[in-house]
Each structure stands twice: as C-alpha cells, then as structure tokens.
Amino acid sequence: DFLSERASPPVYTTFLQAWQAQLAVLEPIPRMIVTRRAGMHGARETLEEIGAMLGVTRERVRQIETLVVERLAERSRWRRSVEANLVAAFGSGRALPLDLLAQDSWWAGIDQQELLLDYVVRRIFEDQLFVLEAPSGKRYLTKFGPSDFVTHLESAKSRVAKLEYPVEEIVIAEILHAEADVLDPILFTELEQAVGELLHRDPEKPGLALGYGRYRTDELLAFLNGQAEPVPVSLVEDACG
C-alpha cells in the first residue's frame, strides 16, 4: 500500500468513488490514458488513438497503462474493499445482472459505466470475473467466462433438438434448468428465451412443443406432429408454403 493509505485507511462509499480515488493520485498522462482506455467518458479508445494524440507510439501507451494497472492491482486496501462488496453482492450466486447490482448502494451507477466495469474485471481481476452479454442483450457480472455460458447454451439446444416430438414443455424446462444450474439458476430465463425462439408450439395445446429448429423442414415436421392423422399435401402446402 501507499504511505497515504497506511496513514489514513480509505473508506469508500461507492465503487465509482473508490475508482476515482485511485485515479486521483496518478500523474495527468497516466490518469488520462487509463480513463480513456476504460471508456469512462465515452467510447473506449485504442492504444493507437491515444498514442497519436500524445505523439508517442502505441507501445509506449501500452507500457504506461500496464504500469498503472499493476499498481492498482497492488493497492490491497482498495482491492479488498472492492472484493468485499463483490462477495456481498454475489452471495452464493455465480452470476449477477448489472441492473440488480446497481441497486446496491455501493455499486450505484455501475450499470451506466459498463465499459469501466468490464475494464476493471479484465485488467484488475483477470480470470476471476467476467462481464457476460446474454442473448437477450442483458449483461451480467459472472464468475465464469462467456465461453462457459455458450457451452451450456449449445448443450441445451442440442439436447432439446434430440427430443422425440411432440413433447411437453416441462421436459424442455428440466433440460434448461439442468444446464443453467451448473452456471447459476438466474440464467434459466436466458436459456429459455434462446431455446424458445426455435420451438414450434401447438397453438391449441398450451405447454406442448411440436418441434424444434429454424429450417423449413423443422417447421414441416412440427406441423405434421400436430396432426392427429395424415393430412392432404394441399393442406401442408397451405400451412408451410
């Protein structure tokens, strides 16, 4: 820790205050580089863009940024403060919607600073925390990587595709719960939405899925699965084109 932190341990009331306090002790150029790289005041800027503005190479900008990040990671009191509030926010979970996180007073405004949060978790908490953008567009702070989510989403889709149709949707829900629970139960709705977009449902029998898939053949099979007996080709053409 720095001497100032030893003499007077900081107490931060919000994450944004804690971050700004760390930037305040930096020299102007390092502070400007990290602020722009973190996208605090707009789009995140590249090393090349900042280098061109300062008249230095992208490598020099990268070196300055890396030095600042390493110093930030070493400030144990600041880091412990962030970690303690992360533990409180996550509870026993492994995924936390950013809009829900922002309801915590310590994380107030974080949903308006997603680029900054992404920067901090990538550079300060590398390989420990991740920002996940789910298929719905909703963003989550997670303890697992986006690739893990994709793996379980694709597994869910594959398992649902292999079912014998027609099938009760509760069977599909059980598959989705099994896949989501490995990550965090809160992600069930994300899997449900992604899989649901490809489900063909029986309009006359709520809760019954007739088929699954995005192609014309899937639509045709779903239509036939919904018929109690063989139907004329003309009726199939009218229904499926």
| DSSP letters spanning 167-217 | EEHHHHHHHHHHHHHHH-GGGHHHHHHHHHTTEEE-TTSTTEEEEE-SSHH
Residue 209 near residue 200, CB atoms below 8 Å:
yes
What totals of helices (H) and strands (E) does the chain contain, helices first?
Answer: 13, 6
What are the tens digits of pLDDT across the range 25-63?
899 999 999 999 999 888 899 999 999 999 999 999 999
Cβ-proximal residues to 191 (8 Å cutoff; 6+ apart), any chain:
152, 153, 156, 176, 179, 180
Q: pTM for this structure?
A: 0.83
pLDDT tens profile 145-186: 999 999 999 999 999 999 999 999 999 999 999 999 999 999
